[in-house]
């Protein structure tokens, strides 16, 4: 079992760090996934017999690391899923992108079309059938002139397939290490991290925010660069 980093746990939810390149849930590969890893942790910690209930409320793309919350009861799962639908559930990301962005902050609005066959998305005209509005805010936190890379904070308004990756690429500032949509860092780990999560606790209704930063190695050294 993977070494699991737990940010918070009670009887209703568990908040953990997903390492990059681990699937959120089982896929066509036989690789260990977060849902299975967390279930196994609960089974071992509480000596549970039989199947362990664990609700998958949201996902992160396989190459992306960061915060995930799982529900330990069906009631918590239902209430958290409702928060996702009503946009009470809020996620912020860090991304290291190619080039210097002149405006220190801004909003990107595009229409995305998902190509199911190739598991990709692209920006299209809003009149295209099945095109969906994608919106995010970005803020430039830092620029490294030597490496010509910018560190961004991303606030998602919608949760489309590969949204951040596609929109930033279309914007002309693709994420460093993005194998599908990027221009730089091929062969490197994608520099996209879900670092902040805000939810209302499904039982107490208290608004709680969790933060988790990536390890400052590789591209993420930009976090400590002066």
In contact, 96 and 173? CB cutoff 8 Å: no
β-strands 65-71, 192-200: how paired? parallel
Catalytic residue among 61, 110, 178, 212: 61
137 is a catalytic site residue: no
Using CA atoms, how far residue 49 sits from 70, 174, 211, in Å, is 20, 47, 33
Using CA atoms, how far residue 184 sits from 16, 57, 108, 181, 196, in Å, is 30, 32, 21, 10, 26
Provide the greatest CA pair distance for the chain: 57
Beta strands in the chain (DSSP E): 6-9, 13-18, 55-56, 65-71, 90-98, 105-115, 120-124, 132-144, 149-156, 192-200, 207-211
**Which residues carry out catalysis?**
61
């Amino acid at each position: 079992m993977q070494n699991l980093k737990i940010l918070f746990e009670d009887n209703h939810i568990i908040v953990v760090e997903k390492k990059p390149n681990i699937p959120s849930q089982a896929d066509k590969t036989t690789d260990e996934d977060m849902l299975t890893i967390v279930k196994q942790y609960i089974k071992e910690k509480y000596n549970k017999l039989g199947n362990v209930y664990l609700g998958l409320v949201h996902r992160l793309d396989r190459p992306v690391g960061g915060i995930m919350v799982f529900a330990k009861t069906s009631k918590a799962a239902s209430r958290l899923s409702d928060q996702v639908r009503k946009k009470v559930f809020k996620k912020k990301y860090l991304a290291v992108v190619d080039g210097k962005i002149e405006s220190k902050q801004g909003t990107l609005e595009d229409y995305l079309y998902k190509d199911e066959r190739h598991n990709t998305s692209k920006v299209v005209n809003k009149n295209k059938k099945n095109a969906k509005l994608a919106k995010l805010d970005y803020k430039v936190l830092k620029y490294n002139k030597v490496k010509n890379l910018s560190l961004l904070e991303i606030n998602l308004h919608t949760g489309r397939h590969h949204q951040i990756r596609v929109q930033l690429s279309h914007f002309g500032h693709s994420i460093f290490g993005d194998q599908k949509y990027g221009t730089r860092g091929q062969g490197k780990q994608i520099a996209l991290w879900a670092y902040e999560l805000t939810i209302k606790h499904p039982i107490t209704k208290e608004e709680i925010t969790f933060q988790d930063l990536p390890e400052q190695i590789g591209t993420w050294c930009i976090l400590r660069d002066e």
